[in-house]
Amino acid sequence: MALPASCAERPLSYMPGHIQDRWFKTETAPNGRTTRTKTDRYGTGLRYRARYVAPDGSERSKSFPDKQKRLAEAWLTQIAADMTRGQYVDPSAGKVTFREFATQWLASQTTDPSTIVNMELRFRLHAFPYIGSRSMSAFQPAHIRTWARALADSGMAASYQRTVFANVSAVFGAAVDDGTLTRNPCRAGSVRAPKLDRRKIKPWTRDRVVAVRDGPLSQYAPTVDVGAGCGLRQGEIFGLAVDEVDFVGGAVHVVRQVKLVGPQMVFAPPKGGKLRDVPLPAWCRMRSPRTSPAGPPSTSPCRGRPRTARRSQPSCCSTRGSVRR
């Protein structure tokens, strides 16, 4: 948008715009002589209005009081320097609150649905109540340090603190990419991400595995077998079908898992989408397809009509209802 010549003073060559004096205007007489006369706004409101054209072609401005023309010039000079360095940020873009920006960012994500649901929960419980109402451009590292301290004082597990912190940092990172911010306050030198509480993992002993397998809930014995013998994750155990166990070749085909998306159980590919075959130890006593109790078909209708995901349901899954996607 071009700036009207009638509202601007002499253009400054080192600036990307002009400074308008709202108290005076320049008039040209018939003989060519120019004079400065008072405007109707003389003596009221802010006198100087610094105006420039942003990279997207829209006009931006900022007003300054009387006797602060040099400050207006310095502001335009800074705008020009930021444009030259490729660090220009639209001043109006940073006025959006963290809650608003994070909500928009979350809606644009194309990752796994369960990941989006979990991030929304973390924002709603652990970020929005503390920093949700603050405008993006107003954030300083001190605000992030205070928020991180609140997370630590809440008694939350260190690993979960780190996950929440990473999600919030991702929002600020997107704001930097979008040109809303110039820096991510979560990555400031004075800000420390929550440290992981590294605990030594103690595998179950053989006696404990046997005791759990042969305990009162023996109908779930196959879950213990594939967990201890094949190293499957919990969701992969719940998503395992008898059809995917090769008793002759001695292998388990890991092709899906059961995940929670909010309160809903859904089928999903294994973590990272990595299908794999896992050796089946000889001692891993699973029921054969002929003796395993068959459950109702479990369907996975991600889109369109339901499709049968597996023909028989292993005894490690509940027979009440279907697991849907």
153: domain CATH number is 1.10.150.130
- Check residue 188 and report its DSSP letter: S
Chain segment 118-145, per-residue pLDDT in tens: 999 999 999 999 999 999 989 999 999 9
List b or e across 138-154, with b for residues whose CB sees 16 or more CB atoms inside 10 angstroms. Answer: ebebebbbebbeebeee
Which range (101-105, 135-139, 210-214, 283-287) has the least confidence?
Answer: 283-287
Q: Is the model's pLDDT at 62 over the cut of 80?
A: yes
Enclosing domain of residue 274 = 206-310
Residues in CB range of 259: below 8 A, 6 or more apart = 112, 114, 235, 265, 266, 267, 268
Q: How confident is the model at residue 319 (pLDDT cuts 50, 70, 90)?
A: very low
Beta-strand runs (E) in the chain: 17-21, 24-28, 34-38, 48-53, 59-64, 245-246, 251-254, 257-261, 264-268, 276-279, 298-299, 308-310
% pLDDT > 90, the chain: 33
Residue 323 has pLDDT above 80, yes or no: no
Residue 34 has pLDDT above 90, yes or no: no
36: phi then psi, degrees, rounded to nearest 5: -105, 125
CB 89 within 8 A of CB 179: yes
* 106 and 180 fall within a common domain: yes
Could you tell me if 148 and 229 lie in one domain?
no
Residue 322 lies in a domain: no
Mean pLDDT of all residues in 241-248: 85
Q: What is the mean pLDDT of residues 35-54?
A: 89
133-142, 171-180, 216-225, 300-309: least confidently modelled range: 300-309
Write down the pLDDT at residue 187.
96
Q: Per-residue pLDDT for 301 more than 60?
A: no
The per-type count for the chain, helices as H runs and strands as E runs, is 9, 12
Taking CB atoms within 8 Å and a gap of at least 24, the contacts of 245-253 are 245/280, 245/286, 246/280, 247/280, 247/286, 247/288, 250/279, 250/280, 250/281, 250/282, 251/277, 251/278, 251/279, 251/280, 252/226, 252/277, 252/278, 252/279, 252/280, 253/277
Is pLDDT at 6 greater than 70 in this prediction? no
Residue 196 lies in a domain: no
179 shares its domain with 129 = yes
User: In the predicted model, is pLDDT for residue 185 greater than 70?
Assistant: yes
Among residues 55, 88, 121, the one where a domain terminates is 88
| Average confidence score pLDDT of the chain | 81
Residue 171 and residue 229 share a domain? no
The number of distinct structural domains making up the chain is: 3
Three-state DSSP class for residue 250 = coil
Answer with the one of 88, 113, 143 that is the final residue of a domain. Answer: 88
Q: For residue 120, what are the contacts with CB-CB under 8 A and spacing of at least 6? A: 106
In angstroms, rounded to a whole number, what is the distance separating the alpha carbons of residues 17 and 80? Answer: 9
Decide which of 42, 71, 88 is a domain's last residue.
88
In the numeric block, the tokens 């993006």 are attached to 136
Across the range 182-206, mean pLDDT stands at 89
Per-residue pLDDT, 317 = 41
Kindly indicate the confidence band of residue 322, based on its pLDDT and cuts at 50, 70 and 90. very low
Question: What pLDDT is recorded for position 325?
Answer: 39
Q: Are 43 and 11 in contact (CB under 8 A)?
A: no
Examine residue 300 and state whether it is found in any structural domain, yes or no: yes
Q: Which residues contact 189 (CB under 8 A, 6 or more apart)?
A: none
Among 20, 98, 93, smallest CA distance to 54 is for 93
- Centre a 10 Å sphere on the Cβ of residue 303 and count the other Cβ atoms it contains: 6
Q: Tell me, rounded to whole angstroms, the distance of Cα 12 from its chain centroid.
A: 42
